[in-house]
């Protein structure tokens, strides 16, 4: 099993290219199930979750090819996938595949909408909370789907197709909004999704569906209107830049100091996180090339944050920000409102010398003068990268184990950091 070895204490300087967003690429790939024509996706990141979803879609009969590179292409640009779902041969998504990645459950909506049936295993994924699928299933029921649970599988049927409906989520859910949006695109009549997620990845999916012929308005607000169509066509769409990767490298730069250009990043996708970093003492400049992050000499100031749905502070940056606050000059409080079990990185940060006290959904961080390297173990995707950030600032050697979590969401992480001066390497065991 691979490990990542870090020798801390070096500032970062240079350029880090930002990859396409995993959280946008996965639903976009699944949207390929909605059409018999080819969907071409550009700027798709090379990640373990993307590769796994290719296998899952292939199980349904979807043919996915990687377009060849052309002379002059940026070697760090994302890959281009051509998704051909003209012949869906199986509407079952088996447990052994779906249990490994929660987002793969979202195939239930497109399969039901286009094929009139779906049998999808209940999902798995990172152990950061229960995250039930009730909202997904309630949305499909509202659209006319007949839903049963049988031996750990969701069995969905709509032999006469889906019909437009009013869907009201009692709580904002990104995944359920994805599911409802894709299913409603092929439902007869008009649908309205209320209390919809506003995340940029929802907007990206809606924009792609519109290119495919869907009639959607309001994406990016809490109310989305969809006028269903009989069929969708093929299209070409580029995945938006990864705001979580952007925020992660911005926090790493703020942690160790230096001057880094996050090439291709979009500031509009994470304004709350950038404002928080400015409050902590980092200099943030938005340029035509991306986002430039600097911290030279000034100390890290403590800042309190509370995670919230977009446009609030992202839960997917909570662990990284906690790592940053371990070196702040004072006390900060971090409150997690999205997932109930997302402080598993606290014990591992403590191994590096962090002082963190947990009280329910709030972590109080007492900044320390120094962190010291130690062996640590990743528990989930975002916790993993928080340990990398802390290791970059710690004295001596930090060894991060179970880094397969990192490969799910960060493309060539050690290479990108090493190019900016970090002493970091992957060790294959």
pLDDT digits (tens, 9 = 90+) for 372-415: 999 999 888 778 899 999 999 999 999 999 888 899 889 999 99
Phi-psi region of 195 (alpha: psi -120 to 50; beta: other; left: phi over 0): left
Rounded Cα–Cα distance for residues 226 and 164 (Å):
8
Whether 171 has a binding-site annotation, put simply, is yes
Rounded Cα–Cα distance for residues 19 and 411 (Å):
7
What is the H or E stretch that residue 140 is in? helix 134-142
Parse the chain into domains and list their residue ranges: 3-18+241-427, 22-238
Whether 23 has a binding-site annotation, put simply, is yes
Q: Is the dihedral of CA 109, 114, 118, 124 positive or negative?
A: negative
**Residue 129 pLDDT > 90:** no
The token pair that represents 15 in the structure block: 């350029």
In terms of Cβ atoms closer than 10 Å to its own Cβ (0-12, 13-18, 19+), residue 251 is: buried
pLDDT attached to residue 202 = 98
Mean pLDDT score of the chain: 94
pLDDT attached to residue 282 = 97
**What is the per-residue burial (b if ≥16 Cβ within 10 Å, else e) of 316-337?**
bbbbbbbbbbbbbeeebbbbbe
* Residue 356 near residue 326, CB atoms below 8 Å: yes
Whether 173 has a binding-site annotation, put simply, is yes
Residues 6+ away with beta carbon under 8 Å from 132: none
Rounded Cα–Cα distance for residues 167 and 149 (Å):
21
What's the fold here for domain 22-238?
Answer: UDP-n-acetylglucosamine1-carboxyvinyl-transferase; Chain (3.65.10)
Rounded Cα–Cα distance for residues 46 and 52 (Å):
11
**Residue 182 pLDDT > 60:** yes
**What's the mean pLDDT in 306-328?**
97
The token pair that represents 30 in the structure block: 């699944």
* Residue 52 near residue 95, CB atoms below 8 Å: no
Rounded Cα–Cα distance for residues 256 and 259 (Å):
10
* Residue 393 near residue 418, CB atoms below 8 Å: no
For 293, phi then psi, to 5°, come to -120, 130
Pairing of strands 166-168, 146-150: unpaired
Q: Is the dihedral of CA 387, 391, 393, 395 positive or negative?
A: positive
pTM for the whole structure: 0.95
Rounded Cα–Cα distance for residues 150 and 91 (Å):
15
Whether 71 has a binding-site annotation, put simply, is no
- Does 3-18+241-427 match 22-238 in CATH topology? yes
Task: Give the number of other CB atoms < 10 A from CB of residue 426.
Answer: 17
pLDDT attached to residue 271 = 98
Q: Considering only residues 195 and 343, tell me which one the structure prediction assigns the higher pLDDT.
A: 195
SS (H, E, C) 251-276: HHHHHHCEEEEEECCCHHHCHHHHHH
pLDDT tens digits along 218-254: 999 999 999 999 999 999 999 999 999 999 999 999 9
Tokens 């996706």, located at residue: 41
pLDDT attached to residue 429 = 74
Rounded Cα–Cα distance for residues 33 and 41 (Å):
13
Whether 22 has a binding-site annotation, put simply, is yes
* Residue 112 near residue 141, CB atoms below 8 Å: no
Whether 295 has a binding-site annotation, put simply, is no
* Residue 343 near residue 335, CB atoms below 8 Å: no
For 221, phi then psi, to 5°, come to -115, 180
**Closest alpha carbon to 366 in 379, 349, 380:** 349
* Residue 307 near residue 273, CB atoms below 8 Å: no
Q: Looking at the domain that runs over 3-18+241-427, which CATH code has it been given?
A: 3.65.10.10
Whether 174 has a binding-site annotation, put simply, is yes
Rounded Cα–Cα distance for residues 258 and 264 (Å):
19
pLDDT attached to residue 124 = 54
pLDDT attached to residue 198 = 98
The token pair that represents 238 in the structure block: 């580029």
Whether 316 has a binding-site annotation, put simply, is yes
**What is the per-residue burial (b if ≥16 Cβ within 10 Å, else e) of 184-211?**
bbbbeeebbbebbbbbbbbbbbbbbbbe
Rounded Cα–Cα distance for residues 33 and 166 (Å):
23
pLDDT attached to residue 297 = 82
pLDDT tens digits along 250-279: 999 999 999 999 999 999 999 999 999 999
The rounded Cα 141 to chain-centroid distance in angstroms is: 27
What 3-state class would DSSP assign to 63?
strand
pLDDT attached to residue 71 = 47
Residues involved in catalysis: 126
**What's the mean pLDDT in 326-350?**
92
Neighbouring C-alpha atoms within 13 Å toward the C-beta of 16: 36
**Closest alpha carbon to 129 in 385, 346, 379:** 379
């Amino acid at each position: 099993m691979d490990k990542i070895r870090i020798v801390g204490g070096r500032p970062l300087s240079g350029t880090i290219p930002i990859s396409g967003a995993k959280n946008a690429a996965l639903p976009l790939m699944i949207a390929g199930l909605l059409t018999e024509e080819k969907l071409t996706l550009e700027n798709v990141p090379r990640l373990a979750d993307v590769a796994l979803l290719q296998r899952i879609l292939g199980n349904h009969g979807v043919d996915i090819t990687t377009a060849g590179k052309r002379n002059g292409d940026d070697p760090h640009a994302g890959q281009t996938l051509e998704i051909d779902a003209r012949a869906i041969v199986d509407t079952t998504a088996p447990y052994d595949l779906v249990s490994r990645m929660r987002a793969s459950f979202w195939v239930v909506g497109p399969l039901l909408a286009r094929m009139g049936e779906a049998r999808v295993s209940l999902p798995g994924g990172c152990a950061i909370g229960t995250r039930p699928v009730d909202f997904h299933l309630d949305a499909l029921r509202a659209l006319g789907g007949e839903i049963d649970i049988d031996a750990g599988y969701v069995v969905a049927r709509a032999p006469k197709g889906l019909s437009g409906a009013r869907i009201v989520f009692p709580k904002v859910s990104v995944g359920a909004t994805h599911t409802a949006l894709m299913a409603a695109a092929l439902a007869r009549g008009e649908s309205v999704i209320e209390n919809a997620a506003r995340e940029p990845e929802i907007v990206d999916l809606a924009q792609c569906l519109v290119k495919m012929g869907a009639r959607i308005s309001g994406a990016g607000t809490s109310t989305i209107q969809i006028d269903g169509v009989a069929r969708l066509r093929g299209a070409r769409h580029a995945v938006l830049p990864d705001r979580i990767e952007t925020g992660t490298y911005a926090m790493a730069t703020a942690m160790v100091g230096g001057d880094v250009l996050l090439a291709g990043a979009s500031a509009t996708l994470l304004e709350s996180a950038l404002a928080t970093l400015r409050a902590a003492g980092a200099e943030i400049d938005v340029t035509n090339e991306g986002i430039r992050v600097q911290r030279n000499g000034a100390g890290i100031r403590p800042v309190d944050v509370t995670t919230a749905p977009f446009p609030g502070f992202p839960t997917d940056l909570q662990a990284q920000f906690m790592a940053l606050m371990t070196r702040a000059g004072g006390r900060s409080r971090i409150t997690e409102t999205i997932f109930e079990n997302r402080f598993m990185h606290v014990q591992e940060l403590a191994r590096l010398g962090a002082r963190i006290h947990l009280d329910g959904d709030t972590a109080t961080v007492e900044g320390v003068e120094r962190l010291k390297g130690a062996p640590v173990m990743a528990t989930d995707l975002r916790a993993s990268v928080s340990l990398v950030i802390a290791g970059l600032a710690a004295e001596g050697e930090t060894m991060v184990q179970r880094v397969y979590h990192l490969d799910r969401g960060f493309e060539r992480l050690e290479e990108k950091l090493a190019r900016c001066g970090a002493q970091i390497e992957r060790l294959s065991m």
